[in-house]
Amino acid sequence: MRIGVFDSGIGGLTVLRALREAVPGHDLLYLGDTARIPYGTRSPITVVRYSLRVASYLVDEGVEALVVACNTATAHALPALRQAADTLGIPVFGVVEPGVNAALAARRGGAIAVLGTPGTITAGSYQRAIAARDPSIPVFAVPCPMFVPLVEEGWTDGQVPLLIAETYLGALRGKADVAILGCTHYPLLVSTLAEVLPGTVLVDSARATAAAVLEALGPGDGAGTVEYRVTDNVERFREVGSRFLGYAPDPVSWVDIGPASPPFIEP
Amino acid sequence: MRIGVFDSGIGGLTVLRALREAVPGHDLLYLGDTARIPYGTRSPITVVRYSLRVASYLVDEGVEALVVACNTATAHALPALRQAADTLGIPVFGVVEPGVNAALAARRGGAIAVLGTPGTITAGSYQRAIAARDPSIPVFAVPCPMFVPLVEEGWTDGQVPLLIAETYLGALRGKADVAILGCTHYPLLVSTLAEVLPGTVLVDSARATAAAVLEALGPGDGAGTVEYRVTDNVERFREVGSRFLGYAPDPVSWVDIGPASPPFIEP
C-alpha cells in the first residue's frame, strides 16, 4: 500500500522514520509543504485550506492512506480531512490520538504533561483528547516556542537547550507521570528533556502514531520504497532533514501542488 | 506622500518605527506578508515572486515610494523590484545600502561585522556591498539563527539570550569596530549585543534606512497616517507587533493580495 505522510515541513520526518521501522512493507510518499511553512502561526481556516490542498495532491498521486504528521494540521484539519477522505475509503491518521493513548497507558495515576508549540497548546487538542477519555486527569500544558528553532539548527545538546528546557519545564519536575512530546521536532531533544524531567516517561507521538498505523494496516508486504517531495527549497530539506533521519532524505524533488482554495467558501 | 513599507512579517516594524520618527509627515502603509513568512528559508526565485506580488499590491494601493524593510527581500529581489518600479517613477529603498553606509561612517579603520539570519549571510549582499565600497575592509559575517525566534518570543534580556549571543559572537569580541544588525529583528536585542560586544558600534539598519528615506523624500508635510495590513493572522501580528513598536499596531486588517506569479516565466 502507498501511504502519504504529510507535514508542513521537516518535523514529520520523525514520523516517517518511525513508520519505516513499524511498517517496512508499505511505500511511503512524504510531502513537506515547505512553501507554506510554518503552519503553527497561521489561522485555523488557513491550516484547513492548506491541509486539504496537500491531501488532494497526495490522493491524486495514488496514496491509499494518509498520515498527518503535523500537530497543527492534526489539531485544526483532521475532521475536514477525514470527511473528505472517508468518501474515498482512505483512512486518515493524526498524531494526537496515538500520543494520548500512549500517555494513558504509561500513566501511573498522576498528571500528564503536554509539551508543544504555542499553536498546538492554544489549539488544545491534546488537552481535549485527554479530557474526553478521563476528565479527572490533571494536565499541564506547556508551550515551548524555542524548541523547534533549536532542533532545526541542530542545537539539541549542551548548555543552551538545557537552560531553555529548564526555563520552560523546571517547575514541572516531579509533578507529571508522563510528558507527551506534542511536536514532531521534540524527539530530537529527548536527552535534554530526560535530564530536566527525571522520572517522567516521555511519550514520542511519532512512534505512537506509527504503532497505530501498524495496528490498522499491518506491516505491509511490498518493497517499502520511500520518496520525498517538497513545495520549496530542496536543499534546505536535505540539510535539515538529515538531522531528523540520521541520513540524507533521498530522492527529494520539488513539486508545485497548486494554490489552496480561497479562504471563504461561498454558501 | 504615501510610502509602502513591506516585510515578510513583523520585523519590518522596526523600520516603520524609525520611519515614523524620521519622516513624520508621510503616510505609511505597512504590508506584512505573514501568509508566506518566513522568506529567509525560501529559494531566491520564490522570494522574487513574492516580493513582486507585494510590490504590485502596494502600487495598486497608490503608494509613491517603496521601502523593502526585509533583509531577505532586499538581498534577492531589490534589482527586480527597482526594475519594475522604475517604469512608474517609484523609488525603492532597501535596508542593505543604508546599513553599509552607516557602518562605513562609524568605522575607525578596523573590521566590520555583519550579523544576520543564515539566509542573509549566505546571500552575501552586505559582504558584497562593503567590498564594492572598499575590498580591503575585513568583514566578519556571522549567522545568528536563534535571534529571530528569541525576539518574536519577547525573550530579549536575561541569561538565555546572553548565552546564545555569547555562543555566536564571543569570538568576535574586540575584533570589529562596527557590527551591522543585518536583520530587522535584531535592534530589540541591542542591550544583550552591547554586553557581548563592548566597544563595538552597533549599526541599526532600520534607523539607517529611515535616514536614507528622509534624505531622499524629506520629512513630508501631511498628517502622517499609519496603516497596517497582513496576509494572515491579524491577532498574532497585533501581539508580537506590540513588542516591536512598544504599542499595539492599529488599525490592522487582513488582505488577500492574490497568488504570486508562477515560479518559472516562459520565454
| DSSP character string of B48-65 | HHHHHHHHHHHHHTT-SE
Q: Which of B55, B76, B77, B57 is nearest to B66 (CA)?
A: B55
A144 catalytic? Reply is no
On whether any CB of chain A is under 8 Å from the CB of B34, the answer is: yes
On whether any CB of chain A is under 8 Å from the CB of B46, the answer is: yes
> From the list B37, B42, B145, which residue is nearest A153 (CB)?
B145
Q: For strands A92-93 and A252-254, give the pairing.
A: unpaired
Q: What pLDDT is attached to residue A266?
A: 32
Tell whether ipTM is more than 0.85: no
CA–CA gap between residue A112 and residue A110 (Å, rounded): 7
Are B46 and A232 an interchain contact pair (Cβ–Cβ within 8 Å)? yes
Active-site residue identified among A18, A63, A141, A183: A183
Q: What is the pLDDT of residues A167-212, one digit of tens each?
A: 999 999 999 999 999 999 999 999 999 999 999 999 999 999 999 9
Domains contained in chain B, CATH given: 2-94+208-254 (3.40.50.1860), 96-205 (3.40.50.1860)
CA–CA gap between residue B86 and residue B64 (Å, rounded): 11
Q: For strands A178-181 and A201-204, give the pairing.
A: parallel
What is the pLDDT tens value at each position of chain B, 267 positions in all?
Answer: 999 999 999 999 999 999 999 999 999 999 999 888 888 777 788 889 999 999 999 999 999 999 999 999 999 999 999 999 998 999 999 999 999 999 999 999 999 999 999 888 988 999 999 999 999 999 999 999 999 999 988 999 999 999 999 999 999 999 999 999 999 999 999 999 999 999 999 999 999 999 999 999 999 999 999 999 999 889 889 999 999 999 999 999 999 887 776 544 332
Within 10 A of A44 (CB to CB), how many other CB atoms are there?
15
pTM for this prediction: 0.86
CB contact at 8 A, B243 and B37: no
Count of all residues that appear for chain B in the document: 267
